[in-house]
């Protein structure tokens, strides 16, 4: 009895320590956006995101919907542009502030939403012990992809909801458990799906759909109870997605109409798209980083390719993937996520290679994407999940025995491969 109480007390302390560590790390990342004496901005903020938010807030204060913005590009549709996020509820939080301060506050808020989502994904969904949640949050929030996206509110706001989509999708497959129930799980999935779609950048939502699709397929194949149970789980997943699409229809329908009329409706110019791809030679640096680079975007081709997860996280992800494949409850999920990561790397190389050209012809709306390098977002989330699993499994070398020693060997080989690749 005393040992059980001591164990629960220790677990509780570890949870609190992890929560404080995640909060502190995210606060450090978000600090530039919270300083009252300065603003973090970029060209797109001044020329695009700022005027969009100003038009939205001005219309809200006047009690009307902002249909048109005459202040940029000679006049453009406003409400139908998903990147204006007119119907996104969280932007109301910063309505009392001036536009520059509001943008900074919204970016900071979404960094905390993202970090919390990674902790919940690691602790509640993957059921990993501390510090796995901290590792998952640090890998994603501290990644190059997120650092770059903080300069684009309409992109980081979509990022923030991706781990919550994975959490809700898993709950829908499992039937929600005793607290949430099947209907509650469907409602939760519908809510986070709608928030993701309303949050901004459509390409980021598209990438999130690819990640969630791989995750959902894996969770379905790993579900217990045979094919009847999987069919019921598929129904809950479909119901949640349909609910999310319905809730977001107020934005999606005008956007689809605008896309049909837009000059880019026939697809992007492949030669222009290729400028925003990741080169095969710079791919290792784009993912692992370069401590000695004087100009990080130049070292990988553009700021869009900066994805830095680091060699340690990448090596841990290999170990985590090894353990997940060996766990029958997560085997298919690991396989699907691994394939998604490999496929995303291939797509990030752009139209110079066959996978991207094939997807352009076969996948609806794929040819509307502007930046192939953003596919590395999927890799960042997969690495974070794998690294969190590895930290949980390799906490004690002695306890895990032979499997841990095998994992250590895999990590050693992976580390050597990383060194050779970077060198």
| Domain co-membership, 218 together with 198 | yes
Non-local (6+) Cβ contacts of 200 within 8 A are 82, 83, 85, 88, 153, 154, 155, 157, 158
Of the residues 261, 282, 298, the one at which a domain ends: 261
The predicted structure's pLDDT at residue 326: 93
* Average pLDDT taken over every residue of the chain: 89
Residues 320, 199 share a domain: no
Per-residue model confidence (pLDDT) at position 1: 40
Q: Which among 242, 261, 280 is the end of a domain?
A: 261
CA distance linking residue 111 with residue 115, whole number of Å:
6
Residue 376: what pLDDT?
Answer: 97
Percent of the chain scored above 90 by pLDDT? 72
| 279 and 246 part of one domain | no
Q: Is residue 67 in a domain?
A: no
Q: 303 or 418: whose pLDDT is higher?
A: 303
* Predicted pLDDT of residue 295: 82
Residues 172 and 294 in one domain: no
Q: Is residue 308 part of a domain?
A: yes
Q: Is residue 59 part of a domain?
A: no
76 domain residue, yes or no: no
Asked whether residue 338 carries a pLDDT value surpassing 80, the answer given is yes
Two tokens, residue 168: 């809700």
The alpha carbon torsion through 39, 154, 113, 384 (nearest 10 deg) reads -110
Radius of gyration of the chain (CA): 22
The confidence band for 329, taking pLDDT boundaries of 50, 70 and 90, is very high
| pLDDT tens per residue across span 250-278 | 999 999 999 888 766 667 888 888 899 99
Regarding whether 285 and 253 lie in a shared domain, the answer is no
Confidence of residue 415 (pLDDT cuts 50, 70, 90): very low
Whether the pLDDT of residue 406 is over 70: the answer is no
What the block records as the tokens of 282 is 């710079």
- Express each pLDDT in 181-238 by its tens digit: 889 999 999 999 999 999 999 999 999 999 999 999 999 999 988 889 999 999 999 9
pLDDT reported for residue 147: 95
Q: Domain range for residue 394?
A: 270-423
277 and 419 housed in the same domain: yes
Tell whether 75 is covered by a domain.
no
pTM for this model (two decimals): 0.90
Identify whether residues 371 and 228 lie together within a single domain: no
Clarify whether residues 223 and 153 are in a common domain. yes
Q: Residue 180: what pLDDT?
A: 84
- Is there a single domain that holds both residue 177 and residue 277? no
- For residues 178-203, one letter each, b for 16 or more C-beta atoms within 10 angstroms of the residue's C-beta and e for the rest, the string is eebebeebbbbbbbbbbbbbbbbbbb
Same domain for 301 and 255: no
Task: Indicate whether 111 belongs to any domain.
Answer: yes
Distance of CA 197 to the CA centre of its chain: 13
352 confidence band (pLDDT: 50, 70, 90)? confident
Q: Flag whether 312 is in a domain.
A: yes
pLDDT for the residue numbered 398: 40
The residues facing 12 across adjacent strands are: none
174 pLDDT band, cuts 50/70/90, is: very high
Q: How many distinct structural domains can be found in the chain? A: 2
What pLDDT is attached to residue 402?
53
C-alpha 168/C-alpha 423 separation (Å) is 41
- pLDDT tens, residue by residue, 7-61: 555 567 889 999 999 999 999 999 999 999 888 988 898 989 999 999 999 999 9
Q: Closest by alpha carbon to 195, among 101, 113, 295, 265?
A: 113
Considering the domain architecture, whether residues 251 and 330 belong to the same structural domain is answered as: no
Q: Are residues 198 and 161 in the same domain?
A: yes
Could you give the 3-state DSSP secondary structure of residue 96?
coil
């Amino acid at each position: 009895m005393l040992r059980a109480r001591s164990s629960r007390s220790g677990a509780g302390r570890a949870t609190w320590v992890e929560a404080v560590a995640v909060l502190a790390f995210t606060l450090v990342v978000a600090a530039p956006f919270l300083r009252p004496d300065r603003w973090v901005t970029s060209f797109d903020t001044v020329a695009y995101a700022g005027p969009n938010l100003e038009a939205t807030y001005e219309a809200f204060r006047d009690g009307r919907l902002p249909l048109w913005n005459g202040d940029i590009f000679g006049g453009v549709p406003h409400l139908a542009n998903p990147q204006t996020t007119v119907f996104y509820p969280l932007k109301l939080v910063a309505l009392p502030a001036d536009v520059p301060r509001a943008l900074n506050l919204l970016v900071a808020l979404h960094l905390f939403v993202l970090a919390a989502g990674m902790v919940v994904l690691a602790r509640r969904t993957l059921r990993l012990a501390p510090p796995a949640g901290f590792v998952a949050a640090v890998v994603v929030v501290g990644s190059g992809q997120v650092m770059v996206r903080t300069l684009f509110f309409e992109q980081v706001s979509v990022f923030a909801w991706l781990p919550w989509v994975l959490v809700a999708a898993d709950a829908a497959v499992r039937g929600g458990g005793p607290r949430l129930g099947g209907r509650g799980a469907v409602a939760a999935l519908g809510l986070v799906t709608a928030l993701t779609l309303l949050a901004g950048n459509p390409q980021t939502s598209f990438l999130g759909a690819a990640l969630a699709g791989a995750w959902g397929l894996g969770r379905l194949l790993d579900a217990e109870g045979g094919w009847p149970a999987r069919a019921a789980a598929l129904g809950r997943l479909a119901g949640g997605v349909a609910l999310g699409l319905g809730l977001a229809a107020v934005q999606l329908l005008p956007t689809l109409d605008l896309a049909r009329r837009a000059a880019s409706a026939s697809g992007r110019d492949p030669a222009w798209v290729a400028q925003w791809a990741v080169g095969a030679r710079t791919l290792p640096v784009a993912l692992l980083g370069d401590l000695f680079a004087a100009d990080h975007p130049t070292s990988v081709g553009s700021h869009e390719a900066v994805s830095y997860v680091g060699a340690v996280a990448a090596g841990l992800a290999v170990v985590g993937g090894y353990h997940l494949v060996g766990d029958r409850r997560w085997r298919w999920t690991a396989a699907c996520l691994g394939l998604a990561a490999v496929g995303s790397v291939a797509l990030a190389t752009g139209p110079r290679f066959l996978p991207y050209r094939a997807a352009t012809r076969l996948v609806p709306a794929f040819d509307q994407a502007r930046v192939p390098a953003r596919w590395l977002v999927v890799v960042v989330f997969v690495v974070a999940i794998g690294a969190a699993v590895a930290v949980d499994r390799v906490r004690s070398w002695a306890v895990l025995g032979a499997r841990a020693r095998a994992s250590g060997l895999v990590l050693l080989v992976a580390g050597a491969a990383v060194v050779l690749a970077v060198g």
